[in-house]
Amino acid sequence: MCRTASMSRAFPRPLAMSGLASRRPDELVIGTVAPLRPEKNVGRLLRVFATLDTSITARLVVSGDGIERRGLEQLAEELNISDRVVFTGQVTPEAVLGTFDIFALSSDTEQMPNALLEAMAASRAVAAVDVGDVKSIVCEDNREFVVPRDDNSAFVAAITTLLRDHQKRHVLGIKNRERVIAVFSQERMFAAYSEIFVAES
């Protein structure tokens, strides 16, 4: 369930955050928000990012903390992408979502990820693997960018397409925001529960 406050306005773009203050005007940001635990498989996202076409100026922002952080930082070094990856540590979603051009989700398992709902409320286009309810949550037009979980090539292609198409990102962001307000807002959830209680009384 997405918090009403998240949907009242688009999130700001605070570039003063460590690693983002020097962001180039043409640089695109792929970002994720997740506790750094094994099931979130942020390592998959790092490996995918490492294979993106380097002619696209992009940075990866990993927001969250947990037992896997040190290992993920080491993996970034091994993949020679540590200069293009920012680990922010634990932050609130609103502190970072506005800096993302694409929200990415690489988990091995999910149900209804709140970070995804927050990203949609912030008008972000989404590239994700097809786990849990992710594909049914995003707007219909965004579903082609939700790919089979273990198909890294498809994940690379989805992210690349979105990086290269500003208009597509913009349109998907608007539609994702409209969908999360219409279907997943607190008000919508409360209204649905009320209908159930009335019907059962």
Domain CATH code at residue 100: 3.40.50.2000
Average of per-residue pLDDT across 149-166? 98
Which residue did the predictor score with more confidence, 3 or 12?
A: 3
> Which range of residues forms the domain containing residue 107?
4-200
Residue 2 has pLDDT above 60, yes or no: no
pLDDT classification of 78: cutoffs 50, 70, 90: very high
Average of per-residue pLDDT across 128-134? 97
Q: Quickly list DSSP for 2-39.
A: B-HHHHSS-----TTSTTTTT--TT-EEEEEE----GG
Split into its structural domains, the chain has a count of 1
Residue 81 has pLDDT above 60, yes or no: yes
Give the CA radius of gyration of the chain.
17
Three-class SS of residue 183?
A: helix
Residue with tokens 């972000």: 124
pLDDT in tens, 172-188: 999 999 999 999 875 55
